[in-house]
């Protein structure tokens, strides 16, 4: 196994996004909080000038020994303090409301969007990448929301106001500051671009690391049994190192920007102080005016220095918003969630009519496939690995659309059915059973939310899991751990079968559903399944041919084509793939080198 090298980071071809246009509707819905913040910000600006004015007048009154003037100014000072405390409190609260309100909306939108993604686009995204939108991108939106956004508006506003105010005090002192302003703007533009580029790389890497971590946790037992902990650790180390390098680069950029801003600010401050002191000596400026000037210059310096941090944060947030918008712009299957309805049983058949399909960028799996599956019967699909059995199930469930031809259920194209009607038609038990963390009852409830205790137990009994559940101290309320890992493979499979039974759909899709049970349980399950299949159209993908000998019809597939079909006895009489597979299986699958050999037929 190779040591992982540097992680590819930047997506070369990115679409143009307008982050603020994307954010605006969600922000508009929090208009009360943003209005509050805007008023708070305006109060803040007014307070800045009011305090500077107060300082200057108080000092001049003190220098002139005007006690009455000082006394008249005192209540004003107290009022300013009260207003500034109220403004600070209000801003803090409004900031949280404005930021968290928008984030809450995006979290919810993102989750909904992911739930409605078509199966193929979902499958293309590593789960960690999707997860990182929640854990990384949404958390990094702060720089363009709430008070950060207000500060971005406030800084130019304060800067312009201060210039005008200072101009009234001394135009000579203003010239010094004005000369340096374009420099700050230019530096902001350049560093902003660099920071955003770097921020994008950090976000992308965070997504990759998140994917790697989720794979590591999910595949922990495989990692352990193949002794590849070292390889995974090195891969993580390499990404961790890269992240460290990028964070340092970010810090360097911010550092340079900060230092440059500080230097610029200090030059303005010291320069105006010296020049101001000279003007006081020359009697062209009062001491109070100098203090007002120095105080306001401080506020002028802040835009030059504080702007760096704000700008850097904003650039990071913009690249997070960009990634979020890319995800939210992925097309979804429909605008609404669908609920299970209780559909009528199938009356006629399922038909694949001249269907052609291939996965994106791959050669076609099916070319003009013609297949009819009669209603109310059990049809088994067999064939070597890669024949297209699972793809047929996916197409039937609408996970993918045929490129040509159509799929009809009782004579109606599945495209004509509403998503709710369509989804209610199938109950699916897959090879890899997935159970959700929570109790056994929670997992069964998924299939039928309003189920009664009796219905639940009946389904569990039919799947031969009821006795086991009742033997547990908490019965149906027993927690089964993440992915049901505290249960055996066979127990998980039987619960999955009970879940499918509870859904009570007219079409039952079983993908080697009895593969993880022992032979005694398999026999019991077969009986239970046979009872349920009686009223249903059942399609079974079977790898062990012994499990489908009683099927009403067996379809033998090879490389996307139907090569044989009929009952077990008929197929056994024919020279062909079925007999070959059957013999291989009964002989123990000793078929090394045989192109039809499916390693699971043993
Ligand atoms: N998501 C996918 N993207 C691209 N190609 C795929 C995808 N899933 C399956 N294939 C390809 O489609 C073909 C049919 O695969 P499919 O899983 O339907 O076969 P199968 O008969 O179910 O095999 P098995 O018995 O091994 O599960 C194979 O060549 C496979 O490599």
Spatial separation of the C-alpha atoms in residues 367 and 317, rounded to whole Å: 48
Q: How far apart are CA 487 and CA 54, in angstroms?
A: 74
Candidate from 386, 394, 601 with most ligand 1 atoms within 8 A of CB, to mutate: 386
Give CA 143 to chain center in angstroms. 20
- 156 closest CA partner among 317, 312, 304, 257: 304
On whether the CB atoms of residues 432 and 447 are closer than 8 A, the answer is no
Q: How far is the CA of 599 from the centre of ligand 1 (A)?
A: 15
Give the closest residue to 591 by CA, choosing from 573, 577, 574. Answer: 577
CA of 386 to the centre of ligand 1 (A): 5
Token readout for 459 is: 């389904």
Residues 6+ apart with CB under 8 A from 213: 128, 236
Half-sphere exposure (CA, 13 Å, Cβ side) for 218?
A: 11
Query: Is 508 inside a domain boundary?
Result: no
* pLDDT tens digits along 380-410: 999 988 889 989 998 998 888 899 999 998 8
Specify the ligand 1 atom closest to the Cα of 392.
Answer: 18
Question: Residue with the nearest Cα to atom 29 of ligand 1?
Answer: 386
Torsion sign across C-alpha atoms 86, 89, 92, 96: negative
Give the residues surrounding ligand 1 with Cβ less than 6 Å away.
123, 359, 362, 365, 383, 385-391
Q: What is the 3-state secondary structure (H, E, C) of 514-541?
A: CCCCCHHHHHHHHHHHHHHHCCCEEEEE
* Domain with 125 in it: 19-328
Q: Is residue 558 part of a domain?
A: no
**Cα(385) to centroid of ligand 1, in Å?**
8
Task: Report yes or no on 153 lying in a domain.
Answer: yes
- Which residue has the least CA distance to atom 6 on ligand 1? 359
Q: For the whole model, what pTM was predicted?
A: 0.69
pLDDT single digits (tens) 346-371: 777 889 999 999 988 788 999 999 99
In a domain, 500, yes or no: no
Residue in this structure with the two tokens 């009455």, named with its chain if needed:
68
CA pair distance 537, 506, nearest whole angstrom: 6
The residue whose CA is least distant from atom 16 of ligand 1 is: 388
> How close is the Cα of 577 to the center of ligand 1, in Å?
19
- Spacing, Cα 457 to ligand 1 middle (Å): 36
Provide the token pair at 430: 């897959």
How open is the CA angle 43-45-48, to the nearest 5 degrees?
Answer: 110
Rounded CA-CA distance 100/106 in Å is: 10
Report the number of distinct structural domains present in the chain.
1
- CA dist 562 to 366, 367, 545, 582, Å? 10, 11, 17, 17
Name the residue with the closest Cα to ligand 1, atom 7.
359
- From ligand 1's centre to the CA of 356, what distance in Å? 15
Asked if residue 50 is part of any domain, the answer here is yes
Alpha helices for 170-228 (secondary structure H): 171-218, 220-225
For residue 245, report the phi and psi dihedrals to the nearest 5 degrees. -60, -45
User: How many angstroms is it from 390 CA to the middle of ligand 1?
Assistant: 7
Angle formed at CA 486 by CA 484 and CA 489, multiple of 5 degrees: 70
Q: Mutate which of 388, 403, 432 to test ligand 1's pocket (most atoms within 8 Å of Cβ)?
A: 388
**pLDDT score of 397:** 86
Which of 358, 383, 390, 561 to mutate to test ligand 1, by most ligand atoms within 8 A of the CB atom? Answer: 390
The pick from 119, 120, 358, 391 for probing ligand 1's pocket by mutation, whose C-beta has the most ligand atoms within 8 angstroms, reads 391
Ligand 1: distance of its center to the CA of 563 in Å? 18
Please report whether residue 36 resides in a domain: yes
Which residue, judged by its Cα, is nearest atom 28 of ligand 1? Answer: 386
Residue with CA at minimum distance from ligand 1 atom 10: 359
Q: Whose CA is nearest to atom 18 of ligand 1?
A: 388
Domain assignment present for residue 548? The answer is no
Structure tokens at 175: 């010239």
Q: What are phi and psi of 407, to 5 degrees?
A: -120, 125
How many angstroms separate the alpha carbon of residue 117 from the centre of ligand 1?
21
ipTM of the complex: 0.96
First to last CA, the chain: 30
Q: How far apart are CA 598 and CA 390, in angstroms?
A: 14
65 found inside a domain: yes
Give the closest residue (by CA) to ligand 1 atom 1.
Answer: 359
Nearest protein Cα to ligand 1, atom 2: 359
For the CA of 361, the closest atom of ligand 1 is 4
Give distance in angstroms: CA of 82 to centre of ligand 1.
71
Atom of ligand 1 nearest to the CA of 393: 18
Predicted local distance difference test score (pLDDT) of residue 434: 81
From the CA of 365, how far away is ligand 1's center (Å)?
8
DSSP for 388-447, please give it. SHHHHHHHHTTSS--SEEEEEETTEEGGGS-HHHHHTTEEEE-SS----SSBHHHHHHTT
pLDDT (0 to 100) of residue 450: 78
Q: How many CB atoms lie within 10 A of CB 282?
A: 8
Q: Whose CA is nearest to atom 30 of ligand 1?
A: 386
Question: What is the CA(483)–ligand 1 centre distance, in A?
Answer: 24
Structure tokens at 599: 């390693």
Residues of the chain with pLDDT under 50: 1-15, 589-602
Compute, in angstroms, the gap from residue 243 CA to the centroid of ligand 1.
36
Which ligand 1 atom minimizes the distance to the CA of 359?
A: 4
CA–CA gap between residue 420 and residue 343 (Å, rounded): 10
Ligand 1 centroid from CA 381, angstroms: 14
Contact present, 558 and 596 (Cβ < 8 Å):
yes
351 in helix, strand or coil? strand
Residue 156's CATH number: 1.20.1560.10
């Amino acid at each position: 196994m190779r040591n992982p090298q540097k992680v590819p980071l930047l997506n070369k071809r990115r679409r143009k996004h307008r982050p603020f246009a994307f954010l605006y509707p969600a922000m508009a819905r929090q208009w009360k909080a943003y209005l509050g913040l805007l008023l708070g910000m305006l109060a803040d600006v007014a307070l800045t000038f009011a305090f500077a004015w107060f300082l200057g007048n108080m000092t001049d009154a003190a220098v002139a020994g005007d006690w009455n003037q000082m006394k008249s100014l005192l209540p004003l000072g107290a009022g300013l303090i009260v207003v500034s405390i109220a403004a600070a409190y209000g801003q803090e609260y409004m900031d949280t409301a404005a930021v968290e309100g928008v984030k809450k909306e995006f979290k919810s939108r993102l989750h909904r969007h992911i739930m409605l993604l078509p199966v193929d686009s979902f499958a293309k995204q590593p789960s960690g990448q999707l997860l990182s939108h929640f854990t990384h991108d949404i958390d990094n939106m702060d720089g363009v929301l709430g008070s950060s956004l207000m500060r971005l508006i406030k800084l130019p506003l304060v800067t312009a106001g201060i210039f005008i105010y200072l101009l009234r005090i001394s135009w000579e002192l203003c010239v010094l500051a004005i000369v340096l302003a374009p420099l700050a703007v230019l530096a902001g533009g350049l560093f902003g671009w660099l920071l955003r580029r770097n921020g994008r790389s950090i976000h992308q890497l965070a997504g990759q690391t998140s994917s790697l971590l989720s794979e590591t946790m999910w595949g922990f037992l495989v990692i352990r049994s193949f002794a590849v902990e070292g390889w995974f650790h090195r891969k993580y180390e390499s990404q961790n190192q890269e992240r460290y390098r990028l964070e340092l680069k970010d810090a360097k950029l911010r550092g340079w920007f900060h230092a440059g801003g500080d230097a610029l600010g200090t030059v303005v401050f010291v320069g105006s102080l010296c020049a101001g002191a000279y003007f006081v000596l020359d009697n062209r400026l009062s001491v109070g005016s100098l203090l007002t000037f120095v105080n306001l210059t401080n506020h002028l310096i802040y835009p030059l220095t504080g702007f760096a941090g704000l700008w850097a944060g904003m650039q990071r947030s913009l690249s997070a918003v960009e990634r979020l918008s890319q995800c939210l712009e992925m097309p979804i299957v429909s605008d609404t969630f669908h609920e299970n309805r209780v559909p009528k049983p199938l009356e006629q058949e399922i038909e694949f009519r001249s269907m052609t399909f291939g996965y994106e960028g791959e050669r076609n799996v099916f070319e003009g496939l013609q297949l009819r599956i009669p209603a109310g019967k059990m049809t088994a699909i067999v064939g070597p690995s890669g024949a297209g059995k699972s793809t047929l199930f996916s197409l039937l469930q609408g996970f993918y659309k045929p490129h040509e031809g159509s799929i009809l259920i009782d004579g109606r194209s599945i495209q004509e059915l509403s998503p709710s009607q369509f989804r209610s038609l199938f109950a699916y038990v897959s090879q890899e059973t997935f159970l959700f963390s929570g109790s056994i009852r929670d997992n069964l409830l998924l299939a039928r939310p309003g189920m009664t205790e009796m219905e639940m137990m009946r389904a569990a009994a039919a799947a031969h899991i009821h006795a086991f559940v009742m033997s547990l101290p908490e019965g149906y309320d027993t927690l089964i751990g993440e992915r049901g890992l505290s249960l055996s493979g066979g127990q998980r499979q039987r619960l999955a079968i009970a879940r499918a039974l509870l859904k009570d759909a007219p079409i039952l899709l079983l993908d080697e559903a009895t593969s993880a049970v022992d032979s005694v349980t398999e026999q019991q399950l077969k009986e239970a399944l046979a009872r349920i299949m009686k009223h249903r159209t059942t399609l079974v993908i079977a790898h062990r041919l012994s499990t489908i000998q009683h099927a009403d019809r067996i379809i033998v597939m090879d490389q996307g084509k139907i090569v044989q079909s009929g009952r077990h006895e008929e197929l056994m009489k024919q020279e062909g793939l079925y007999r070959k597979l059957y013999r291989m299986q009964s002989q123990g699958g000793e078929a090394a080198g045989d192109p039809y050999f499916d390693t699971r037929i043993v």
